Each structure stands twice: as C-alpha cells, then as structure tokens.
A and B are shown apart, each in its own frame.
Chain A
C-alpha cells in the first residue's frame, strides 16, 4: 500500500502550446479512493496515464510512497490498470488473462492458480475461467479486467472510465461493486470518469479538472455544498446548478425579473469586476404560493417519477436567464404557466464572474 503524490506534474504534447496537464499538485492517501473527474479533454486520463507511466512527464514529479517514479518504466511501478476498453488478451483464456502478470513475474504455477481462483471467487468468475474473452458478456469482460488488476495485489489501481462501455443498469450495479471491493482491498485507487454521478458516489475524495488545471479536491459532499468556483459548481450535480450572471452597481440590490437579491458585503469587497455569478441548485428553489420569488414562465416539465424538473425562463429577464427547479412530482405546474420560485437564502452561491472564484463562504 502506498500514497501517491503528483508534484507539479506537467504534460505538454509535442506541437501543442497549452499543457494537457498543467502543474498538477495532488496528494492521495494510503488506501484512498480518489476520483478524477472533468469534461472530455480536461487532462484527467492523461494524468492517470502519467501515473501509470504510459505518458511521459515533461515537468514536476510523481511519487508512489517515498519512491520517485517520474521516469520509471510502467512495468516497474507496481501499478495495475483497468482500461476503458478492457484490453483483454483475446487469445488467452480468462484464467490466463488474469494470471499473465504473475506469469511474467515468474511466479509458480500453483501460486498463480491459487491467486487467480481467489480473485475469480471475489468477482464471481469461477465458472468462466476457461473461456476466451469473446465468449463473455460486456459485464463479465469488465470483471475480468478488474480481476487482472486485483490478482497482482499492486500498490495502486488505475481505472480509466471502466464503466463507460456498460449499459446503464449494469453500470449502477458495477459502480457499487467496485466501490465496495476497493474498500475491502484498501488499495490506493485513482479512478477517472467523466460521469459526475460516479464521482459523487464512489470516491472518498473527488478532484475536478478543467483544461488541464486542477479546480478543486474535496469530499463529494463538501464539494457539492461548497464549490470553489463557478466551473465546479456547474459541473458537479445533476441537473446542473443554475448559474446566472448579473451586473453589480454600487450597493444597489440585484434583480432577477422583479425579484431582488443582495450580494453580501464580504462578497462585494472581494469582487474584482462589474459582474457577479449567482448560483442556486434546482432543489434549493421552491415554488412559492404568495408571489414572493423569481417570476418564471414554465417552458417544460420533465417528470422522472420520483422527481419532476421545471425548466423555465425568468419573466422580464434576458433570453439567457433560464432556470431549472425541482418541484413536487405529484402536482407539477402546467407548461406555459407563471410561477414564482424562491431560492433558499442560505443555499445561494456567489462567484466572481471575472475570475470564477467563490466570493462568500
């Protein structure tokens, strides 16, 4: 078991001006499950591949435990990786796939057999050990890829979107399996995904990347409650947080249609530009009967059974002022009707539009 440290790790692709990963500083504790999340092209997979040794590091260092592995060959890092495409060896049986690393390491046949069988039992693959990958379903292949990683009992697991090729139902089931398996084995794990639901549900901590720059690292709940900047606020949570940009003039209150909001004093002093971004999560908007709240014209109601989401535009506001609110699925408002949405005051987030940074704690 080991900790993993990214110390200013940078990856600059040939012929590119902007680094794919820009001076990444990240500490991952022993046995921790860290999820790297971000939109496509944000550098999350590149960061993982740098840790695995499949991608060279152009600046900074990567350490596993106390050992600097920045320029160590992947085969000597004692890391196991689960690929998005599984990358099973098609000409080998499941048992041979799982035991390949041990065979390369020169372990005895009985030893390999025993460890493969143990892993197969954990992953419910015992009946499939003699099959070739092509005779397995997608979920089974995914488990073989997991098995290949755990058989080695490495210091670190790297997982690169291992669930993205599964269908939705299987993905949810496998998600919990992987998370509980990781808790049981207590192996330091770095897990890459673009799916923020996976990030929220699986990780001990979540690291959000955008354009190669680390945005925030925190426990999922803390990140949800207190995003460090407007990007994280918009990325974490589904449906996404409502983010509206409003001009600030002196101490005058801000307007959303007829609704008045006031930026707290500490936020006003910290503000660098003339605009502020206000953020409210859909569940923090409530339908108010007495007309107090943001006036909204209902454009669409998505009914999901357990929830209903109201999509609407601020009445009298500009075209870009759109809001999503969670409403009671038993009596959702009609499309086209006029409603008032009141934000919970303690759940309003303020960000500096110019820098994106959070203004009020």
Chain B
C-alpha cells in the first residue's frame, strides 16, 4: 500500500481562532513536527515503500532477468522493458478485468455511502419509536461473518435471476458495508452540535434540506474516510467476486485475473508483477485524491467565540 506519513500530510491552513478551539490538535501537531518525529516518519516511509518500489522495478524487467535474479540487481545491471505490460494487456486481456473492477467498485462504494448517510441521519436526528433498539440491531450485524452469508445470498441471487450479473457483487458489497458505515457516519453526525440542526429547523428547513444543505457539507471527512476504506476493500476483494461472479470472465474483477496469473502460470512472475502493479495504481490515486477532504476544524467557527 501507499506510505502515508505524518510528515507527508498536507498542512491545513486553519486560522488562529480554530487552533485555539482545539488545543489538543495543536499539541499533537507540535509533537509531530519535531525534528526527530520527522526523521522517524521519513525512515518509516522509505521502509514501507521499498516493497512497492521492488514490485514496480520487477514489472519493468525482462522475463529472463526476473527468473534469474532479484529486482535489486537491476541497479548494477539496468535493463528495462515494457513488454510485460504489453503482454498482460494484449495476450491475457487485462483491460476487460480492469474495467470490470471499476464497474464493480464504484457502485459498491456509492450505494452504501448513500444509504448509510440517510440511515445515519434518521438514527441521529429523527425521533421514532424503537430507534435505539434498531440501532443496536444494525450495529450487531457487524459480527456476522461474511462467509456465513455466502450460500444464502447465492441462493437468493439465483432465485431472483441475478446470478452472473454485476448486481450480485454490488448488492453483496453494499450489504456487508452498511452496518459499519451506518455506525461510523451516525457517530460523526452526533458530533455535529444539536443547535445547528435546531437553527436550521427554525430557519424553516425540513429533514431533506437539513440533510443536504447543512449536514452533508459537514460530513465530507467522514464520507471521504469511509469511501476510501470501502474502495480499497472492494477493489482488493477476491472472496466475494470469486463466489458471486463465479468462473464467468464477463463480470470478474482484476483480483480474479491476478489470482489466475499466479495460480495457472506459477512461473510467469514478470506478468504477475505487471498485473499487480496496475492494480495498485488505482487505490493510490483514489487515496491521494480523497485525502484532501480529511480537513481538521471543519466545524470551527459555527459555535461560540
């Protein structure tokens, strides 16, 4: 995975007022920006990145070299080629799996995010009978292991004529994600001061307007955080994809393709490294794109002085 270190985090520019509001955050920031901490962070970052770097180098070496020696020997005997990439794309059809991965992942992130934030709003701010009990039940669903649900779900999908379509994977990922997503977003929503919602009610806003105009903009860090985790989870998932997409290549994602590379061609290390590196790139890009939403002090200034 990517190496994120405190030193590499973008420094958010919060005005002095916000800093005084959260002294603890300022304290932590001080500690993290000391010289020794920075050094430790850099060392960790390098250590963490070496395997990824090795994979990248391997994927660029000729097949014969990869079989003969380790990637670090490249430094003394540099020889690079893009042939591995051409091979996985043209001969093995990686492109189709790559597209499948996107087709699977994006709805599997969007569906639970939408449903969970709506459910979390209801749990957090709408009074209804049995709310607490229902919330505990939803929360408790997290302890159900995915493996237990595989067979019943498969039967359901077959009887609903969904077998072999993307729907099976979208629905299962959404279902598995919802309990945790609702719990996390609910907790974040409860942190938003009650007065803000009351002020919006006094201003004439109904539930829909409160949700979209007041809460959603303040929820972006939580949504981004959960979005990233869910994206990584679905992108790297093999179990669900293999179970529900079955052998059919039509809906199988990149992970199935890579598993096949490793399983059926144990010697094709050069192809495996190229395929694996391609599958790493996307989560890295997603992470870098969304991390700017992790902004501290989003609520600063709304309350008191």
Contacts and interface: CB of A to CB of B under 8 A. Distances in A.
Interface string B187-211: 0000001011011111111100100
A83 B217 contact: no
Given A83-B195, A91-B217, A101 B204 contact: yes
A141 B305 contact: yes
Contact of B305 (A52, A91, A137): A137
B303 A75 contact: no
B305 A138 contact: yes
Nearest to B192: A90
Interface string A17-56: 0000000000000000000000000000000000011100
Interface in A149-173: 152, 165-166
A75 B213 CA distance: 16
Given A75-B206, A104-B209, A138-B305, A87 B201 contact: no
B301 A75 contact: no
Interface residues on A, range: 35 or more
Contact of A91 (B201, B203, B298, B304): B298
Contacts of A104: 203-205, 209
A142 interface: yes
Interface string A96-135: 0000110011000000000000000000000000001111
Contact of A75 (B14, B204, B214, B217): B204
Interface in B161-211: 193, 195-196, 198-206, 209
Interface string B107-143: 0000000000000000000000000000000000000
B10 interface: no
A87 B205 contact: no
A88 to B, nearest CB: 5
B305 A166 contact: yes
Interface centre among B202, B209, B218, B297 (most CB of A within 10 A): B202
B203 A148 contact: yes
A72 to B, nearest CB: 12
A80 interface: yes
Given A87-B193, A101-B204, A104-B204, A134 B199 contact: no
Question: Taking each of B201, B204, B206, which has the highest tally of chain A beta carbons within 10 Å of its own beta carbon?
Answer: B204
A165 B302 contact: no
Given A87-B198, A101-B203, A165 B218 contact: no
A89 interface: yes
Interface string A60-104: 000000000000011110011101111111110000000011001
B201 A134 contact: no
A136 interface: yes
A135 B301 contact: yes
Contact of B302 (A52, A81, A89, A135): A89
Given A86-B303, A104-B209, A54 B17 contact: no
B198 A134 contact: no
Residue among B213, B218, B301 having the largest count of chain A Cβ atoms under 10 Å:
B301
A81 B214 contact: no
Contacts of A89: 196, 199-200, 214, 302
A139 interface: yes
A138 B304 CA distance: 7
A291 to B, nearest CB: 53
Contacts of B17: 134-135, 137
B266 interface: no
A331 B117 CA distance: 69
A266 B198 CA distance: 51
Given A89-B214, A104-B209, A132 B301 contact: yes
Most buried by B among A84, A85, A166: A85
Chain B contact patch, size range: 20 to 34
A137 B195 CA distance: 19
Given A87-B195, A134-B15, A134-B18, A74 B301 contact: no
Nearest to B301: A134
Contacts of B15: 134-135
A136 B198 contact: no
B201 A74 contact: yes
Nearest to B214: A89
A85 B195 contact: yes
A208 to B, nearest CB: 26
A104 B206 CA distance: 9
Nearest to A132: B301
Nearest to A164: B304
B299 interface: yes
B301 A136 contact: yes
Interface in A185-211: none
A52 B202 CA distance: 8
B300 interface: yes
A75 B202 contact: yes
Contacts of B209: 104
A90 B206 contact: no
Contacts of B301: 88, 90, 132-136, 141
A83 B199 CA distance: 8
B305 A139 contact: yes
A86 B199 CA distance: 9
A74 B217 contact: no
A242 B14 CA distance: 51
A125 to B, nearest CB: 15
A89 B198 CA distance: 11
Interface of A: 52-54, 73-76, 79-81, 83-91, 100-101, 104-105, 132-139, 141-142, 148, 152, 165-166
Given A104-B209, A134-B297, A142-B305, 4 more contacts: A81-B198, A83-B195, A83-B198, A90-B299
Question: Which 5 pairs from chain A and chain B are nearest by CB?
Answer: A138-B305, A134-B301, A90-B302, A87-B195, A133-B301
5 contacts: A83-B195, A85-B303, A91-B218, A132-B301, A133-B301
